[in-house]
Amino acid sequence: HMSFSLSQFEADYLIKLLKRCVDFAMFLPLQGESEEYKVTDVASNSEDFIVLINRRNKFNNKCSFVLRYKKANKILLRLDVGCTSKHTNPDNTIIEGPHIHRYREGFDEKFALAIDFNSESLEDDLRYFLNESNIEEPQKIGTQLKLES
Protein backbone atom coordinates (compact mmCIF):
# COMPACT_ATOMS: atom_id res chain seq x y z
CA HIS A 1 0.00 0.00 0.00
CA MET A 2 1.83 3.09 -1.23
CA SER A 3 1.86 6.19 0.92
CA PHE A 4 2.75 9.45 -0.79
CA SER A 5 3.79 12.67 0.84
CA LEU A 6 1.11 15.31 0.67
CA SER A 7 1.93 19.02 0.78
CA GLN A 8 -0.07 21.38 3.00
CA PHE A 9 -1.30 23.15 -0.14
CA GLU A 10 -2.60 19.87 -1.63
CA ALA A 11 -4.21 18.79 1.65
CA ASP A 12 -5.97 22.14 2.13
CA TYR A 13 -7.13 22.04 -1.49
CA LEU A 14 -8.51 18.51 -1.10
CA ILE A 15 -10.37 19.44 2.10
CA LYS A 16 -11.90 22.52 0.41
CA LEU A 17 -12.91 20.56 -2.69
CA LEU A 18 -16.70 20.06 -2.86
CA LYS A 19 -17.34 16.35 -2.40
CA ARG A 20 -20.29 13.98 -2.34
CA CYS A 21 -20.99 10.52 -0.98
CA VAL A 22 -21.39 7.89 -3.71
CA ASP A 23 -24.28 6.30 -1.77
CA PHE A 24 -27.56 8.17 -1.30
CA ALA A 25 -27.58 7.37 2.44
CA MET A 26 -25.09 7.28 5.30
CA PHE A 27 -25.84 5.20 8.36
CA LEU A 28 -24.19 5.47 11.74
CA PRO A 29 -22.84 2.07 12.76
CA LEU A 30 -23.94 0.28 15.88
CA GLN A 31 -21.79 0.38 18.99
CA GLY A 32 -18.75 -1.85 18.39
CA GLU A 33 -18.91 -1.54 14.60
CA SER A 34 -17.67 0.74 11.86
CA GLU A 35 -18.94 1.84 8.48
CA GLU A 36 -17.06 3.06 5.38
CA TYR A 37 -18.35 5.24 2.58
CA LYS A 38 -16.87 6.12 -0.80
CA VAL A 39 -16.68 9.84 -1.49
CA THR A 40 -15.73 11.61 -4.71
CA ASP A 41 -15.29 15.21 -5.81
CA VAL A 42 -18.38 16.77 -7.39
CA ALA A 43 -16.61 18.58 -10.26
CA SER A 44 -14.69 15.76 -11.95
CA ASN A 45 -15.46 12.53 -10.07
CA SER A 46 -11.74 11.83 -10.33
CA GLU A 47 -10.59 12.18 -6.71
CA ASP A 48 -11.35 9.31 -4.35
CA PHE A 49 -11.88 9.61 -0.62
CA ILE A 50 -13.12 7.29 2.10
CA VAL A 51 -15.24 8.37 5.06
CA LEU A 52 -14.90 6.01 8.00
CA ILE A 53 -17.36 6.20 10.90
CA ASN A 54 -15.75 4.23 13.68
CA ARG A 55 -17.51 3.06 16.85
CA ARG A 56 -15.29 0.03 17.45
CA ASN A 57 -14.62 0.72 21.12
CA LYS A 58 -16.14 -0.02 24.48
CA PHE A 59 -17.55 3.46 25.13
CA ASN A 60 -21.06 4.01 23.85
CA ASN A 61 -20.76 7.71 23.07
CA LYS A 62 -17.26 7.59 21.59
CA CYS A 63 -17.02 7.91 17.82
CA SER A 64 -14.47 8.93 15.21
CA PHE A 65 -15.31 10.35 11.79
CA VAL A 66 -12.40 10.10 9.36
CA LEU A 67 -11.83 11.58 5.90
CA ARG A 68 -9.04 9.73 4.10
CA TYR A 69 -7.56 10.60 0.72
CA LYS A 70 -7.08 7.30 -1.07
CA LYS A 71 -4.34 8.21 -3.56
CA ALA A 72 -1.91 9.30 -0.85
CA ASN A 73 -3.45 7.10 1.86
CA LYS A 74 -3.50 10.08 4.22
CA ILE A 75 -6.07 11.19 6.78
CA LEU A 76 -7.16 14.75 5.99
CA LEU A 77 -9.61 15.22 8.85
CA ARG A 78 -10.70 13.24 11.90
CA LEU A 79 -13.42 14.32 14.30
CA ASP A 80 -13.27 12.60 17.71
CA VAL A 81 -16.29 12.80 19.98
CA GLY A 82 -17.20 10.99 23.17
CA CYS A 83 -16.13 10.31 26.70
CA THR A 84 -12.37 9.79 26.56
CA SER A 85 -11.54 12.37 23.95
CA LYS A 86 -8.37 13.86 25.43
CA HIS A 87 -5.47 14.36 23.05
CA THR A 88 -1.85 15.41 23.47
CA ASN A 89 -0.41 17.29 20.50
CA PRO A 90 3.22 16.92 19.32
CA ASP A 91 3.98 20.28 21.01
CA ASN A 92 2.58 18.87 24.32
CA THR A 93 -0.56 21.02 24.35
CA ILE A 94 -3.46 18.97 25.68
CA ILE A 95 -6.86 19.15 24.03
CA GLU A 96 -9.85 18.05 26.10
CA GLY A 97 -13.34 17.26 24.91
CA PRO A 98 -14.43 16.81 21.30
CA HIS A 99 -11.71 17.77 18.85
CA ILE A 100 -10.80 17.72 15.19
CA HIS A 101 -7.54 16.53 13.70
CA ARG A 102 -6.53 18.26 10.48
CA TYR A 103 -3.68 17.15 8.23
CA ARG A 104 -0.49 19.08 8.91
CA GLU A 105 2.47 18.52 6.61
CA GLY A 106 5.22 16.61 8.41
CA PHE A 107 2.86 15.52 11.21
CA ASP A 108 0.03 13.86 9.26
CA GLU A 109 -3.07 14.04 11.50
CA LYS A 110 -1.25 14.18 14.85
CA PHE A 111 -2.34 17.75 15.70
CA ALA A 112 -5.84 18.36 17.04
CA LEU A 113 -7.87 21.47 17.71
CA ALA A 114 -10.67 21.76 20.25
CA ILE A 115 -14.05 22.45 18.72
CA ASP A 116 -16.79 24.62 20.11
CA PHE A 117 -19.71 22.46 19.15
CA ASN A 118 -22.63 21.26 21.21
CA SER A 119 -23.97 18.06 19.79
CA GLU A 120 -27.26 16.42 20.65
CA SER A 121 -26.53 13.20 18.74
CA LEU A 122 -24.12 11.29 16.54
CA GLU A 123 -26.23 12.47 13.58
CA ASP A 124 -25.35 16.05 14.60
CA ASP A 125 -21.69 15.04 14.80
CA LEU A 126 -21.84 13.48 11.35
CA ARG A 127 -23.44 16.63 9.88
CA TYR A 128 -20.75 18.78 11.51
CA PHE A 129 -18.05 16.49 10.10
CA LEU A 130 -19.56 16.53 6.59
CA ASN A 131 -19.68 20.31 6.72
CA GLU A 132 -16.03 20.55 7.87
CA SER A 133 -15.06 18.11 5.09
CA ASN A 134 -17.08 19.95 2.42
CA ILE A 135 -19.07 16.82 1.66
CA GLU A 136 -22.64 17.43 0.50
CA GLU A 137 -25.14 15.90 2.87
CA PRO A 138 -26.53 12.64 1.44
CA GLN A 139 -30.28 12.34 0.89
CA LYS A 140 -30.58 10.32 4.05
CA ILE A 141 -28.68 10.12 7.32
CA GLY A 142 -29.77 7.40 9.68
CA THR A 143 -28.81 5.03 12.45
CA GLN A 144 -28.30 1.33 11.85
CA LEU A 145 -31.11 -0.60 13.46
CA LYS A 146 -30.29 -3.60 15.58
CA LEU A 147 -32.03 -6.61 14.11
CA GLU A 148 -33.34 -8.86 16.83
CA SER A 149 -32.35 -12.45 16.10
Helices (H) and strands (E) in the chain, counts: 2, 12
Residue 76 to residue 132: CA distance in whole angstroms: 11
Q: What is the pLDDT of residues 70-116, one digit of tens each?
A: 999 999 999 999 866 679 999 999 999 899 999 999 999 999 999 98
Residue in 100, 96, 101, 95 with CA at minimum distance from that of residue 83: 96
pTM of the model: 0.92
Question: What are the two backbone dihedrals, phi and then psi, of residue 128, each rounded to the nearest 5 degrees?
Answer: -60, -45
Q: What is the pLDDT of residues 43-78, one digit of tens each?
A: 999 999 999 999 998 777 789 999 999 999 999 999
Cα–Cα–Cα angle for 59, 94, 28, nearest 5°?
Answer: 30
